[in-house]
Amino acid sequence: MAEYRLETPLSDDDVSQLKAGDIVYLNGTIYTARDAAHKRLVDLIEKGEPLPFDLQGAVIYFVGPTPPKPGEVIGSAGPTTSYRMDSYSPILIEHGLKGMIGKGKRNEAVREACKRYKAVYFGAVGGAGALLAQRIKAAKVIAYEELGPEAIRELVVEDFPVVVVNDIYGNDLYEEGRKRWARV
């Protein structure tokens, strides 16, 4: 396992160096979106309409943050379960998405899209939303405000800690972990 500090947007070169199990500290702009927002993004792609942000090299964090307390940038911002985005992620990856952050396994279609179009799936620690929020330096709603916590937000992050779960080579940290522990 290696450790990297990467700036967004991510490039093919950035994701090509990553392997399942690597620790990454993300810096720059990432976007939030959950299933309702993902559906809207895919609908826009299918209609040939512009998206609320550029997908090229983008990273989407599957999160519905809580409201911020006075003086805070954002409330608790822990990852949500990723499988709800599985039906939408392949088309977003095909259109330039380079990274996704969530928790839990992804389906085969997502893993294949990561391999084919050079994208990665990062895991963030569930239950650590208050700690992860400390790595978010700015947050603003950029689309679908009516979705409340599920609106699309633009976040500026500094050393946001994630681990590579699915890389562009077809590796899956969850499967590798099971195999490793099965031998013990």
pLDDT digits (tens, 9 = 90+) for 113-137: 999 999 999 999 887 888 999 999 9
Domain ranges of the chain: 3-19+32-182
Rounded average pLDDT per 10-residue block, the chain, 184 residues: 96 98 98 97 98 98 94 94 97 98 97 98 89 95 96 98 98 85 66
Give the active site residue among 8, 20, 26, 38: 38
pLDDT at position 181: 74
Q: Give me the pLDDT at residue 184, please.
A: 57
> pLDDT digits over 162-182, tens only?
999 999 999 999 888 777 777
Q: Which two tokens stand for residue 5?
A: 């500090």
Degrees (nearest 5) of the Cα angle 61, 65, 68? 135
CATH architecture of 3-19+32-182: Alpha-Beta Barrel (3.20)
95 as an active site residue: the answer is: no
Calpha distance 6→117 (Å, rounded): 19
**pLDDT score for 82:** 96
pLDDT recorded at residue 31: 98
Task: State the Cα–Cα distance between residues 134 and 138, nearest whole angstrom.
Answer: 10
pLDDT, residue 97, reads 98
Q: Is 166 exposed, middle or buried (0-12, 13-18, 19+ CB in 10 A)?
A: buried
Alpha helices in 83-184 (DSSP H): 89-94, 108-117, 129-133, 173-182
